[in-house]
Amino acid sequence: MKMLLSLIIGLSLMIAGCGSHSDVSPSRGKKQMNEEESIGVATMKEDGTIVLRLRAKTSDGGLDEGYFEYPPDHKDYEKIKQHVGLLGLGRTVSVKPWPDVK
């Protein structure tokens, strides 16, 4: 499971280095991330499981995608939930890159 978190962080770091454009447009009084600030989406299933669909550009210009599920009893569930933010049942939100880990 630690490997999954490492992969997510790695994908985040790859995305974070891909661009510095930061246009953020307000929508319904809230700021939305543009595509370059998002590394994918998170959805919460009816049973509370968090589903992450993440993407990252590869060094050769391709695109890699990952699909991860974190049920409520997963050891990293609360970390993922805190990072994702305002996530409720059936709701899908953009996922921001994880901060650099040193």
At residue 2 the predicted structure's pLDDT band, cuts being 50, 70 and 90, is very low
Do the strands 40-44 and 50-57 form a parallel or antiparallel pair, or are they unpaired? antiparallel
Q: Considering only 6-15, 31-40, 83-92, which range has the smallest mean pLDDT?
A: 6-15
Decide if pLDDT at 93 tops 50: yes
Q: What is the pLDDT of residue 87?
A: 87
Q: Which sign does the torsion angle of CA 21, 85, 1, 50 carry?
A: negative
Q: Give the burial class of 56: count Cβ atoms within 10 A of its Cβ; 0-12 exposed, 13-18 middle, 19 or more buried.
A: buried
pLDDT digits (tens, 9 = 90+) for 27-67: 343 445 454 588 999 999 999 999 999 998 888 989 899 99
Q: Which residue has the higher pLDDT, 35 or 22?
A: 35
Q: What percentage of the chain carries pLDDT values higher than 90?
A: 43
> What pTM does this model have?
0.62
Q: What is the pLDDT of residue 9?
A: 56
The one-character DSSP state at 89 is B
Domain ranges of the chain: 2-18+28-95
